[in-house]
Structure 1
Amino acid sequence: MSAQTADTGWRDVARRVSPPDPNGTEQQLGLNDVFFSTTDRKGVIEQANEVFVRISRYPREVLVGSPHNIIRHPVMPGAAFRAMWDYLLDDQPFVAYVHNLAADGSLYTVLATVTPLDGGFLSVRTRPERADLLGAADSIYGTVRHLELEWEAAGLGAPAAAAQGLGVLAKQLTAAGIPDYTAFMQTVVPAEVQARIAAGATVPQRPWAVGRLADMAVHQRRLTEELDDWVSLLGRLDELATQLSTLSGELAEHSHADAALRERIQQAKQRAEGFSPIMAGLDLWSAMTLELSTLVAKVTDEVEQLRASCAATRFRIALARLHCDQVGYFTVELIDQTPDWQLAAPGIVLLCRALSQGVAETAGAVQGNAQLAAKVASDINEMAQAVSIPRTLLASWQTMAAGRELSDDLRELMPQVGSTIETTAEQIERIGRVAEECRRNAQPHDITAIREHVMALSEAASVVAAESAPTPHADPQPVDSPEVDRQYDEPPAPPSETVAPAAGAPAGAPEVGTPAGAPGSGVPDAGQPGGEQSPVPSPTFTMPVPPDTGMPSKLSGYAPYRSPAQQPATPPAQAFPPPPVQQPFRPEQFPPPQAPMGR
């Protein structure tokens, strides 16, 4: 990506609305206040859900078409947004705690997630639940923002100050024990998702939903369960990988300490007189520790790769869990017919694309995790076999030493070497047990069900979006109208307008109900030559078309809730005007039309 493109993404789009001054008040968000918005490549808002409109205090007409930084609060360091653009323009998701400024000057704080999608960006934001992580971020923000303001006061431009602030932010993270911003994001998102679940964040249930929307609610609920199971498995794998990292680090430190002992063995060997089986054994062990230290370094590197991969995988699935929650809230909006409910279905389609993208990337990473875990377990097993040789020799050395007079060097070295061998063997056994459990937990997760639920949600939302698009037909009756007792997936088809000819009709007579002027009708159209003088050879009867019920197709799958007292005893039948009595009409040949059955 060119520097010009990156700079275009970083620069603010010209504001359409003057920002308010902060008034010192703060809005308290609800657990189920989940924000959704999409922007183009430059950060101009294209979609905004009801929560975003309500909390930001801006009308939707103002939000849509404005840059997303219309809600930027001056306490936020520019470095945070510079980091955001660096990640997004590299096609990577971004997460941060963000303080926002509403139109009335109040402050509200969110955990913001932003995902690149279809040439633009999709954002889902929630109330922060981890006060400790938010506090750590605020501490760093305060330091960085203070420096940025000083640099700007000294004449440095805001973009340059933000770039310098990004370096300070990285140093602050390192000082807090966090390697980089990626590690911070990978810590925050799973922790926040687990905290939301523990706090009781759930998508409201709508048991009265029917049809397509009821199916969508079921798919969303089952998708949530599948993702929760996956997050739990990845959480355990992440814990095991962290344990492996700690144990391999301890083993590496012990291996480095062996270097001093090897040096002492070489010095004792030079002072020894003649051949000594015990000294020969110690010399062999000294050589083997060099091979062992190489294996330890290799395993340590592999374990660190596994830990980083597990953290990245867990991060993506936790992010998918937030997207799934927003799908659920949008589905509820469709069922409840909340204001601007038509905007929910397109949002679900975009969220499902983000889910599919994240799950596909994660599936590949899971395969890599399994391969890495198997490699780590294999290499640790090789280390265990290597250390078993000097461990066996140690017993024979001790037997030989019991009947011999040892030099001062050997008497001093034997206990130290024995202790080192036992400690190394115990460490390898511990790390081997963890590695084996890690290998079992790293088996690829079956994501077939997840893909099926995402696909079903996307397809259903696409249909609902098409059905809810404005149509040239007359406005439908309100949902709570007493005349509308039930909604249908599709509007009922009207009865046929053509009825078979009466029995006993003259040969060659046209079919009853054939329109005048049609071939074989025997009745020329009024515009045809001689049409006015042509006789009618037989009577015709046209079944009246039932009146328009006004049932809106855009409400597919939704039936308004009615208490038992409100339900009619029997569904109202369709009213049809009685047919005119004409000869040779016989009523028994024409049973009354049936009212369409609800599905």
Structure 2
Amino acid sequence: MEPTGAVRDVGVEDLFFSVTDHKGIIRQVNATFARLSATSREDLVGHSHNVVRHPMMPGGAFRMMWDRLLAGRPFVGYVHNLAADGVRYDVFATITPLPDGGFLSVRTAPLVEDSFVLMSMLYEATCDLEYQLRSDGMSRADAATRGADHLQGLIEDGGMGSYDEVMLGMLPAEVSTLEAALGGLPERPQASGPLREMLEELRSVFADLTVLMVRLDPISELMRDMGDAVYVLQGTIDRSTALAAMIAAKPELDDQFESLVEPLRRWMSMGGEMDALMHALMAEMGEVREVAARSRFLIALARLHQYMTGYYLAELIDRKAGSEEALPAVGLLCEALESGFRDLETQAPVHLEAVDRAIVRIEDAAQLLQAPSRVMAEWDAVASQRDLPGPVADLLPQIEAELEASDRAVRQLRAIGARCADSGAPADTAALRAGAARISGLAQGLASAGA
């Protein structure tokens, strides 16, 4: 089917999914997928997912996808799809490996417009390259490999780092926008029995994840504050070192002032050590940011799967037409949830260790900064009692100002350390997995009763 140029809107409530085997052959779809693709479920199941591939999608994007999925990692990205009637429909796809070797793909409307438009532009440029390579006789597989490299290069040239880094920011942004649009999990006060239990359990797990997400939210602000503090400290160190050197070099300070010059030399000797510590501190905080981004990604993935689970539970409670597909979907989503919580459980100690290292480094910096401050405070106290030459005495107010600035920066560092510790509070991931398992067990019980 050739594209007609028409575009079919995907609504914010169009949450849909498909399940494939390890080769991408469709095993299960829902009614929303069939409607948007203008294809019956019977004509989708048993066919490759390529059945909805749009020519505007570069092979390189799918190569990047398969590289990650076959390594056991989730993949997220924007996808242009082609329906059987030639109409394009755009989605945000989140694909996760399943325990049986297959894959669960959850699709929603692309809601972060800037990200979607940017990636569409990069896809178009990559498609142009791949078309030229194939025209020159290159195979589709080799052109896709070159396309993946080209797409990654475009991302790097845009200052976005790797595609993995793009994914870490893309998924939380899309999920938070979806949450704002949907207004929370479905509420069905009229529900009873196992369906009510499942929805209540889902809401409980969702609340626990919200607490985790709130703990991670301040990380970007922490990084900004840390950068500001280090900038102030670096300026204080540089200015104080320059002042110390200027005073020590004054010809007016002859041998009788040696007791004053010696502390200045000690101050100047600490400059290199403090510079190195500031760089190490920023590196540690950068690691905290990266680990936190990974944690946020896993939490966003779990929240998306929870929204899908809630959506299908609401269909079952409402006895919506076609809801017979909802129960097996709930089971699959719970499998994905449990797998995601295991990943989060693995990630938790990594996050805690990164936070602990950063806190230690912050305290090291605070302690080290206090040493030269004490030296200069001692010098200032002695100097203020001596009859100093005019050019030296004129510099005393500057020394005192830098000492005050250094003290403020040390206090700010320690406050950042305390906030950093709050972000590393341990998560009860075992309870999260238990909640997902209870929902899955209830779903299996309902399925058995229905059979």
Q: Normalized against structure 1, the TM-score is what?
A: 0.68
Provide the residue aligned with 2:34 in structure 1. 53
Structure 2 residue 279 is the aligned partner of structure 1 residue 297: yes
Q: CA deviation at 1:360?
A: 2.0
* Distance in 2, Cα, partners of 1:156 & 1:177: 30
Question: 1:222 is paired with a residue of what secondary structure?
Answer: helix
Distance 1:375 1:244, change over 3 A: farther
Q: Is the 8 A contact 1:174 1:180 kept in 2?
A: yes
Which one is further off, 269-278 or 353-362?
269-278
Q: CA deviation at 1:377?
A: 2.3
Where do 1:77-96 residues align within 5 Å?
77-96=58-77
Q: 2:450 pairs with 449, 468, 471, which one? A: 468
Q: 2:194 pairs with 212, 226, 230, which one? A: 212
Q: CA deviation at 1:399?
A: 4.5
Distance 1:415 1:68, change over 3 A: farther
Structure 2 residue 137 is the aligned partner of structure 1 residue 155: yes
Provide the residue aligned with 2:182 in structure 1. 200
Provide the residue aligned with 1:168 in structure 2. 150
Where do 1:77-476 residues align within 5 Å?
77-118=58-99, 119-236=101-218, 238-243=219-224, 246-247=227-228, 250=231, 254=235, 261=242, 268=249, 274=255, 276-402=258-384, 403-406=386-389, 422-447=404-429, 449-469=431-451
Q: CA deviation at 1:195?
A: 1.1
Q: CA deviation at 1:152?
A: 2.4
1:213 maps to a residue whose letter is L
* Distance in 2, Cα, partners of 1:185 & 1:433: 31
* Distance in 1, Cα, partners of 2:180 & 2:98: 30
Q: CA deviation at 1:414?
A: 6.9
* Distance in 2, Cα, partners of 1:260 & 1:139: 50
Q: CA deviation at 1:411?
A: 7.5
Greater C-alpha Rg? 1
Which one is further off, 437-446 or 222-231?
222-231
* Distance in 1, Cα, partners of 2:320 & 2:303: 24
Q: CA deviation at 1:33?
A: 0.7
Gapped regions of structure 1 (runs ≥ 5): 1-19, 470-599
Distance 1:450 1:399, change over 3 A: closer
Provide the residue aligned with 1:35 in structure 2. 16
Q: CA deviation at 1:381?
A: 2.1
Distance 1:377 1:203, change over 3 A: closer
Q: Is the 8 A contact 1:251 1:296 kept in 2?
A: no
Provide the residue aligned with 1:580 in structure 2. none
Distance 1:385 1:77, change over 3 A: same
Gapped regions of structure 2 (runs ≥ 5): none
Q: CA deviation at 1:285?
A: 0.9
Distance 1:138 1:431, change over 3 A: farther
* Distance in 2, Cα, partners of 1:45 & 1:249: 53
* Distance in 1, Cα, partners of 2:40 & 2:236: 65
1:239-259 CA deviation, whole Å, 9 max, x = no partner? Answer: 344335534763686599579
1:384-429 CA deviation, whole Å, 9 max, x = no partner? Answer: 2222232233234234445345597x68987776666554443333
Q: Percent identity?
A: 33
Which one is further off, 200-209 or 187-196?
200-209
Question: 1:276 is paired with a residue of what secondary structure?
Answer: helix
Q: CA deviation at 1:112?
A: 0.5
2:51 maps to a residue whose letter is I
Q: Is the 8 A contact 2:334 2:436 kept in 1?
A: yes
Q: CA deviation at 1:288?
A: 2.2
Q: Is the 8 A contact 1:248 1:300 kept in 2?
A: no
* Distance in 2, Cα, partners of 1:83 & 1:256: 46
Q: Is the 8 A contact 2:241 2:267 kept in 1?
A: no
Distance 1:248 1:57, change over 3 A: farther
Q: Is the 8 A contact 1:44 1:68 kept in 2?
A: yes
Q: Normalized against structure 2, the TM-score is what?
A: 0.89
Aligned residues: 448
Q: CA deviation at 1:267?
A: 9.4
Distance 1:390 1:165, change over 3 A: same
Q: Is the 8 A contact 1:258 1:289 kept in 2?
A: no
Where do 1:537-548 residues align within 5 Å?
none
Distance 1:154 1:272, change over 3 A: farther
Q: CA deviation at 1:265?
A: 6.9
* Distance in 2, Cα, partners of 1:350 & 1:362: 18
* Distance in 2, Cα, partners of 1:396 & 1:424: 15
* Distance in 1, Cα, partners of 2:163 & 2:394: 50
* Distance in 2, Cα, partners of 1:161 & 1:304: 36
Q: CA deviation at 1:380?
A: 1.6
Q: Is the 8 A contact 1:252 1:297 kept in 2?
A: no
Aligned CA RMSD, in angstroms, stands at: 3.1
* Distance in 2, Cα, partners of 1:220 & 1:148: 45
* Distance in 2, Cα, partners of 1:300 & 1:314: 21
1:358 maps to a residue whose letter is G
